[in-house]
Amino acid sequence: MSTSPVIETQFRVRYAETDAMGIVYHTNYIIWFEVGRGEYFFQQGMSPADWEQQEVYFPVSELSARFLAPARYGDLVIVRTWVRERRSREVTFAYEVLMAETGQMLVTGWTKHLCVSGEGQVVIIPPNLRDMLRPIEGS
Amino acid sequence: MSTSPVIETQFRVRYAETDAMGIVYHTNYIIWFEVGRGEYFFQQGMSPADWEQQEVYFPVSELSARFLAPARYGDLVIVRTWVRERRSREVTFAYEVLMAETGQMLVTGWTKHLCVSGEGQVVIIPPNLRDMLRPIEGS
Amino acid sequence: MSTSPVIETQFRVRYAETDAMGIVYHTNYIIWFEVGRGEYFFQQGMSPADWEQQEVYFPVSELSARFLAPARYGDLVIVRTWVRERRSREVTFAYEVLMAETGQMLVTGWTKHLCVSGEGQVVIIPPNLRDMLRPIEGS
Amino acid sequence: MSTSPVIETQFRVRYAETDAMGIVYHTNYIIWFEVGRGEYFFQQGMSPADWEQQEVYFPVSELSARFLAPARYGDLVIVRTWVRERRSREVTFAYEVLMAETGQMLVTGWTKHLCVSGEGQVVIIPPNLRDMLRPIEGS
């Protein structure tokens, strides 16, 4: 049984994302994690419009990040996103943010998500989403 | 017939609101306009929960701002908010952002809002809201 | 004497850019204006690193925007950026934000910028930047 | 030897902080952690201006957060901030975000910070700052 892919998203750092230290403000990397996560679903065939017809969603229940080196305005960065763990009712995504040109690692982290119904109940991940979320073992 | 008041809101600049020039990133002043606008309704007796029962909302249709001097991290700032013009289906709020301690003017501006129903139609402003939105003439 | 080009930048709306109305929060379009402006300089050969060696910068002194229709999470949008007016010490950029797939216009606007030295004095735009900022007449 | 205090900061949720799910976008709680951290130093007598004369700063090297319940637009929230651990060259702050009126816990978390000199070297925390950062044992 194959695993799901590692998805890469590439973009330039916006000026709005910097702070008075001249570097990217730390919570913006966490926003980039979600940009990677959105792209993950998108590249597996799940568009934003598809989400509206889906009966579940995946709010963040827990997150962790390590900041190794800063990005600056205009830097070209890559976010790598993959599934690290999947249970019946929750899924954990892992991320790496790195400099596109040098490969230097900037930030690593993960987010855990519960599968929640429209009524706010924690439910089992539906089969079509489950298939998109096959974890990379040992990652 | 009296006019509605000028509402003042005071808070400290957050580090997240600065940019690599060491000053507040310009769009954050526009967010502060809305903080002032929310406080305007709140102080007139219209809480966020009340909005959910209201059948209309006021999306921004136009905005203008002039940037005179910058604020920095930790500065205590005041946003002054009032109604400059009211028509049957639209309202214009005006704003001043200034340094709380010196009164130095930082940013001035205005936002225009259409009154829109839940179905997305432009409608007449309901009487209870109309009463909160009496313009200050010549402002 | 030719004019400078209209620069196009394309990207997807981030979930972080939406608000509780389910649409893009209005100040994010103004951030996109700056994404377009950064790309404008970038495509004219002026990288972020080049700015550090430049002795001037262009803070926003005034801005205006009209909101015609909303974008939503995942929408592919285009920002068109060009120079509308150039004086000896200031420049005005104009913008259009539109849906990439349908061409529907979402937001139009402009930002005015003073040319400021590192010491904070308003100065004449240096020749190398002046050449990048030839206005499109009547735009 | 006494410990440093638990600092409380209170404010209303901004509309700009919500997302299309109608609740606060998750990274904004992390920004609130920093609002609490800034207030922590401020209430210990360390103003933003004092930081400019200080020869060190405390970039975030690691963070963790658990999301228990969501806040919504207009909610009055409290951020509690204290020092959980202090070593010679690093300090860990802990946070709780809760509803001001009910005391309901919304988010808990911590951030770890290295003490870094203006030249980017990891250095020993200076005595004046060290005194402000006495940990609450077992917290």
C2 has pLDDT over 80: no
Asked if residue C60 is part of any domain, the answer here is yes
Nearest-angstrom CA–CA distance, D107 and D17: 15
| Domain hosting residue C70, numbered range | 7-132
Amino acid at A129: L
DSSP per position, B33-81: HHHHHHHHHHHTT--HHHHHHSSEE--EEEEEEEE-S---TT-EEEEEE
The per-residue pLDDT for A1 is 52
The number of helix segments (H) and strand segments (E) in chain C equals: 3, 7
Asked if residue A2 is part of any domain, the answer here is no
Residues D17-74: pLDDT tens digits?
Answer: 999 999 999 999 999 999 999 999 999 999 888 887 888 999 999 999 999 999 999 9
Of C16, C31, C73, the CB nearest to A31: C16
Summary mean pLDDT of chain B = 94
Taking the CA of residue D42 and the nearest CA in chain B, the distance in Å comes to 9
How large is the average pLDDT for residues C114-119? 93
- Give pTM, 2 decimals: 0.96
CB-CB under 8 Å, B18 with A22: no
Structural domain count of chain D: 1
Strand partners, B60: B113
CB-CB under 8 Å, A30 with D30: yes
Per-residue confidence band for B3, with pLDDT thresholds at 50, 70 and 90: confident
Element (H, E) at D110: strand D105-114
B5 has pLDDT over 60: yes
The per-residue pLDDT for A118 is 87
Residues A5-20: pLDDT tens digits?
Answer: 999 999 999 999 999 9
Asked if residue D2 is part of any domain, the answer here is no
From the CA atom positions of chain D, what is the Rg in Å?
Answer: 16
Asked if residue D1 is part of any domain, the answer here is no
Is C19 in CB contact (< 8 Å) with chain D?
yes
**C interface mutation test: which of A50, A73, A93, A101 has the most C CBs within 10 A?**
A73
Residues D89-111: pLDDT tens digits?
Answer: 999 999 999 999 999 999 999 99
Token pair recorded at residue B58:
């006021």
Asked if residue B52 is part of any domain, the answer here is yes
The per-residue pLDDT for C4 is 82
Per-residue confidence band for D1, with pLDDT thresholds at 50, 70 and 90: low
Name chain B contacts of D74, Cβ cutoff 8 Å. 38, 42, 47-49
CATH number of the domain encompassing residue C107:
3.10.129.10
The number of helix segments (H) and strand segments (E) in chain D equals: 3, 7
Per-residue confidence band for C84, with pLDDT thresholds at 50, 70 and 90: very high
Token pair recorded at residue B29:
């002043």
Pick from D111, B19, B135: nearest CA to A19? B19
Q: Which residue has the higher pLDDT, D131 or C2?
A: D131
Taking the CA of residue D35 and the nearest CA in chain A, the distance in Å comes to 13
On whether the CB atoms of residues A112 and A83 are closer than 8 A, the answer is: no
The per-residue pLDDT for B43 is 92
The per-residue pLDDT for C66 is 98
Instruction: Report residues of chain A scoring pLDDT below 70.
Output: 1
The per-residue pLDDT for C54 is 85
Residues C38-83: pLDDT tens digits?
Answer: 999 999 999 888 887 888 999 999 999 999 999 999 999 999 999 9
Token pair recorded at residue A86:
């999947």
Asked if residue D35 is part of any domain, the answer here is yes
Nearest-angstrom CA–CA distance, A17 and A61: 24
Interface of D with A in 57-76 (CB under 8 A): 57, 59-67, 70
Nearest CA in chain B to D11: B11
Asked if residue D106 is part of any domain, the answer here is yes
Q: How many CB atoms lie within 10 A of CB C116?
A: 16
How far is CA B5 from its chain centroid? 13
Asked if residue B19 is part of any domain, the answer here is yes
Nearest-angstrom CA–CA distance, C111 and A132: 43
Find tokens 């930048």 and name the residue: C9
CB-CB under 8 Å, C18 with D27: no
Summary mean pLDDT of chain C = 94
